[in-house]
Amino acid sequence: MVIATRNRPTDAHRVLSAIACYDIGVVHEVLFVDDASENSLCINATCPFPVRILRNETRRGPAASRNLAAKTATGNVLAFLDDDARPLPDWFSVLDTALSDNHAAITGRVLPFDSGVVARARQYRYEVRYAQHAPNSPVTFFAGGNSAVWTELFLSAGGFPDIVTASDNGLVERLAQSDGQVFFVPDLRVAHRNSKGAGVAFREAWRAGRLAPRSTPAAALPRFAATARLQPWPYDPIPAVLNLGLQAANSLATVLPSRVSQRR
């Protein structure tokens, strides 16, 4: 298990408790990567598996933190959770069954345990994505906070691209270069704190657009229109407006000339 964390000691202890509670004997070790927290993470818990804490002395982000853990992991599977996520009770049994030899990686569904406007807006986007894919079908997305991949394949692919936003999906592209595919397992579910605030949501949407391939207004407008059509206008209009604003920020970022250099 790999969990990147920063300044969330309470969340780190809670996700570890959930892992210990629901593990069916498949957890080899838990690796926390403390991404330069103001106070170093300290875990005082008795678990039936080893718990190790790695630390970045300067902030490097989730992608680099997960890659660091992968290089020191001793198990043959890397399973990823966010520190503010909780695996559902059957998470480990689903993982143990679904990650087969012909699947390079699996990813599942994220469900909210918060219910604010930003959380609901984000969940609507998730659900639109999920509805497009049949169970156990290959996908081009990877939820870094709810997923698993064979360690050897992950390392061979070079891990997550070390970029600020969208590194999760970058791993899908890297695995594909070695004929590895990510499969969607809807029963692999976590509860997650969806909302970090509207400001964070807009910043992430903008960053994702700046790091995406350049687009044109003619190409961005249909995506914006499609987003508008998919929103829950009749029964939850405020998150619908927020999602439209996030799409506008993302689209604008894709059509402006790129001045962002991507770290690898």
pLDDT of the residue at 163: 79
Q: Quick one: 47 and 19 in the same domain?
A: yes
- C-beta atoms surrounding 48 within 10 Å: 8
Q: Quick one: 205 and 180 in the same domain?
A: no
Q: Quick one: 185 and 233 in the same domain?
A: no
pLDDT one-digit tens code per residue, 46-96? 999 999 999 999 999 999 999 999 999 999 999 999 999 999 999 999 999
Q: Quick one: 69 and 169 in the same domain?
A: yes
pLDDT of the residue at 262: 44
Q: How far apart are the first and last CA of the chain?
A: 24
- In the chain, how many domains are there? 2
| pTM given for the model | 0.92
Q: Quick one: 117 and 162 in the same domain?
A: yes
pLDDT of the residue at 52: 98
Cβ-Cβ contacts under 8 Å for 219 (sequence gap 6 or more) = none
251: in domain: yes
74: in domain: yes
Q: Quick one: 141 and 30 in the same domain?
A: yes
263: in domain: no
Range of the domain at 229: 198-255
Give dist(CA 3, CA 189) in Å, integer.
16
Q: Quick one: 33 and 160 in the same domain?
A: yes
Residue 135: which CATH number? 3.90.550.10
Q: Quick one: 215 and 148 in the same domain?
A: no
Give dist(CA 83, CA 167) in Å, integer.
17
The answer to whether 243 and 223 have CB atoms below 8 angstroms apart is: no
**pLDDT < 70: residue spans in the chain:** 164, 259-264
248: in domain: yes
81: in domain: yes
Last-in-domain residue among 146, 167, 192: 192
262: in domain: no
Last-in-domain residue among 167, 192, 217: 192
Q: Quick one: 160 and 48 in the same domain?
A: yes
pLDDT of the residue at 21: 97
pLDDT of the residue at 259: 62
Q: Convert the chain into a string of H (helix), E (strand) and C (coil).
A: CEEEECCCHHHHHHHHHHHHHHCCCCCCCEEEEEECCCCCCCCCCCCCCCEEEEEECCCCCHHHHHHHHHHHCCCCEEEEECCCEEECCCHHHHHHHHCCCCCCEEEEEEEECCCCHHHHHHHHHHHHHHHCCCCCCEECCCCCCEEEEEHHHHHHHCCCCCCCCCHHHHHHHHHHCCCCCEEEEEEEEEEECCCCCHHHHHHHHHHHHHHCCCCCHHHHHHHHHHHHHCCCCCCCHHHHHHHHHHHHHHHHHHHCCCCCCCCC
